[in-house]
Amino acid sequence: MAEELKKENVATTEVKQSTEPGPLRIGIGLDEKSRHIIIAFGKEVAWLALKPDEAIRLGQMLLAKGQEEMKTLEERIKRELQEADKSTEAEDDGAIEPDHSEDLEDHE
């Protein structure tokens, strides 16, 4: 069974080790510090054989997790760019325009 751990603000997925015979449990998670997608098996695995439908399902699970992380990263980048634009606009709003009225008087 997978358990969510919090260590130093880093969330990782831990799958308890099992020595019991039986089906292999696969957990797919994300290491929030490294941003790597993690595949946890719950026991030592020397090799893995999957039926075609199982391989497709595993691929779909990995793809879904990757797409989820890409969306999260895109949203974060978009938010950071918007914040940078706001701070630039705030700096521009505080600028004082030069007074050219004297220049106009000299030409009259």
41 CB-near residues (< 8 Å, 6+ apart): 15, 24, 25, 26, 27
Per the listing, tokens 């946890």 go with 40
Q: C-alpha 14: how far from its chain's center?
A: 19
The tally of domains found in the chain comes to 1
Domain interval for residue 57: 2-93
Tokens 């030409």 identify what position?
107
Establish if 78 belongs to a structural domain: yes
* Domain annotation covers residue 65: yes
pLDDT digits (tens, 9 = 90+) for 7-55: 333 344 444 556 677 778 888 999 989 999 999 988 888 888 999 999 9
- Asked, for residue 99, whether it belongs to a domain, the answer is no
Is 107 a member of any domain? Answer: no
User: Does any domain span residue 62?
Assistant: yes
Q: Is the pTM of this model over 0.75?
A: no
CA distance 27 to 3: 10
Q: Please report whether residue 25 resides in a domain.
A: yes
The string of pLDDT tens digits covering residues 44-103 is 888 889 999 999 999 999 999 999 999 999 999 999 999 988 887 777 666 566 666 665
